[in-house]
Chain A
Amino acid sequence: MHSTKPSHSKAAVVFTPEMMAQVEHFTKQYPAGKQKSAIIPLLHIVQKKYGWVSVEAQDKVAELLQLQPIEVYEVATFYTMFHLHPVGQYVLEVCRTGPCMIVGAEDICKYLENKLGIKEGEITADGLFTWRTVECLGACGYAPMMQVGDNFHEYLTPEKMDKLIGDWRNK
């Protein structure tokens, strides 16, 4: 399901001055010549801005860190947090692992599929939502749960999902 086929961005990938300040924050924290360590942090920075990580974004990270593009591609395709294809503005990542499953994660997925009218990995017509399942997020005691952007939403129920989705639609 996690396709690693490259996907291209139509718009140019630009690092704003704020993003460059974050880049510098990371590159300073490693010994000289070890800037490769900043690949994952920089992929997070670019994904936060653009929502996903295009080939162009990965090339830009390689350029900023003075690395070969392949060094960034192999990292971007290994770690599951990076979206290698366009996604909705809100990516609803529902934990599907054991402890969440036994208290109703599968029902949450079915509910999302019906409510949003899309299958796992798809984007709603208005471009707002994508949902997918992910493996254990470390919220097992507060299950079922999902991650959306930087936040965890726990003890999920259909009512809670309705409210969250309604709020995002009205934003």
Chain B
Amino acid sequence: MPRKLLLEHDKVEGIRHIDTYMKHGGYRSVEKALKKMTPEEVVEEVKKSGLRGRGGAGFPTGMKWSFLAKPEGVPRYLVCNADESEPGTFKDRYLMEYLPHLLIEGMITSSYALGAKVSYIYIRGEYRWIYEILETAIEEARAKGFIGKNILGSGFDFELYMQPGGGAYICGEETALLESLEGKRGNPRMKPPFPAVKGLWGCPTVVNNVETIAAVVPIVNDGGDEYAKIGIGKSTGTKLISACGNIKTPGVFELEMGLPVEEFLNSDEYCGGVAHGKRLKAVVPGGSSVPIVPAGLFYKNIKGEDRLMTYESLADGGFASGTMMGSGGFIVYDEDQCIVRNTWNFTRFYNHESCGQCSPCREGTGWMLKVLDKIEHGKGATMEDIDLLWDIQRRIEGNTICPLGDAAAWPVAAAIRHFREEFEWHVKNPQLAQTKSYGLVGETKYETASA
């Protein structure tokens, strides 16, 4: 059986309540950290674990923590990024909904390690019912003495607050999140200074994803070395993957890093394979921002080796033939799905969610949407429009303050790179493309007008 470090008890009746949660070993990491460890020792265990940020960027958490500035007399903050809004991603929601105390416990232990006396959970406004679940959990933790003054006699004072967002994808970017938490529009900040030096209200701040903070609990309980035994190379521990699209059993799964992607997609323990007996066309394995890959490049890398669920293996081949683990938002497309339509849809998303601060993103996403609209809806697009689309995405990538620009460019680039003939088919057959889908690459089911 694969090991579960986060979702071990997700199905236990009453696990949302602190008594049941504690009966199953809950809050041990708080006891251990506050009574037997110094904050530095906790940071050291997280470094040893090899844990990498689970929000999408995959930056080593221990290193991020060690960058936190500690000037005398200035408060420090830990902010939990629960603004989950990357299309395809719903893993944090699951964790918070079923195991709210795991997040609260992780927040207390992590705040102790960072010397944060006040911390916030910034949760997307749409997750209203989860907000209530977490508030109740915080009250229960306070009643047990895990939050408040002099926790467990350790001298550590700690307060934990909830903050709702207002509906903006961009607030999942950590500096936009901090702006939003300060009561402003979610416009990302220029870095440097990094939040570790100047974050919330100008104070040193660490922003971590929900799953990252939850993973600190098993790391402190069992030790960083034990955590690092799971996985391959620099992809250690377990990862939550939210799987959706055209699969038999969509849902949230915890897997050990290193699981072959073939097994994840096709075994009944996970996705159960492509639904309705159809064939696989493409996969977006890490949320809408990461490059889409056709079935062939998904199962095996360019060298013919099996791809694994690790940061490195999914990225193998770079953007030419690989993709990214991203947020773990795993979207599966069957043979009947239209790549052009999906690209148009994602571009509409990024255009809608661009904060408007940087012109390459603000204008570029709009231009891409116009071109894609022409191609997708048969409005007289030409072959040059495909090149124009390529040109626009290239000019957005790398030219914006935050990664939303890249996130908007990559799906377009990958779609053209791997599915160019499907775009060309749309241009050549504007009417047919309104009623039929192109099918699998190299296997067009419909007669194509001569070029």
Contacts and interface: CB of A to CB of B under 8 A. Distances in A.
A101 interface: yes
Contact of A39 (B126, B183, B342, B345): B183
B250 A138 contact: no
Place the interface of chain B in its size category: 35 or more
A81 interface: yes
Interface stretch (B29-37, B79-87, B150-158, B223-231): B79-87
A98 B332 CA distance: 11
A138 B89 contact: yes
Contacts of A14: none
A43 interface: yes
A158 interface: no
B242 A140 contact: yes
A140 B331 contact: yes
Contacts of A36: 182-184
B432 to A, nearest CB: 19
A18 interface: no
Nearest to B249: A141
B88 interface: yes
B169 A135 contact: yes
Contacts of B166: 40, 43-44, 75, 78-82
Contacts of A71: 183
B349 A97 contact: yes
Contacts of B120: 29
Nearest to A42: B183
Given A98-B342, A141-B244, A135 B352 contact: yes
Interface string B231-260: 000000000001111100011100000000
Contact of B88 (A31, A34, A140, A151): A140
Given A98-B342, A136-B169, A37 B181 contact: yes
B189 interface: no
Nearest to B127: A138
B436 interface: no
A143 interface: yes
Contacts of A137: 126
A52 to B, nearest CB: 14
A41 B125 CA distance: 9
B337 to A, nearest CB: 6
A62 to B, nearest CB: 11
Interface in A28-81: 29, 31, 34, 36-41, 43-44, 71, 74-75, 78-81
7 contacts: A31-B201, A37-B163, A40-B125, A79-B186, A98-B288, A99-B244, A141-B244
- The 10 A-B residue pairs whose C-beta atoms are closest, nearest first, are A79-B166, A81-B167, A141-B250, A36-B183, A140-B244, A80-B167, A29-B161, A150-B128, A78-B185, A136-B87
Given A39-B183, A138-B85, 20 more contacts: A29-B120, A29-B161, A36-B182, A40-B165, A43-B166, A44-B164, A74-B185, A75-B185, A78-B168, A80-B166, A81-B126, A98-B87, A98-B288, A102-B333, A102-B342, A136-B86, A136-B87, A138-B127, A142-B90, A143-B244
Interface of B: 75, 84-90, 92-93, 120, 124-129, 159, 161, 163-169, 180-186, 201, 242-246, 250-252, 288, 329, 331, 333, 337, 341-342, 345-346, 349, 352-353, 355
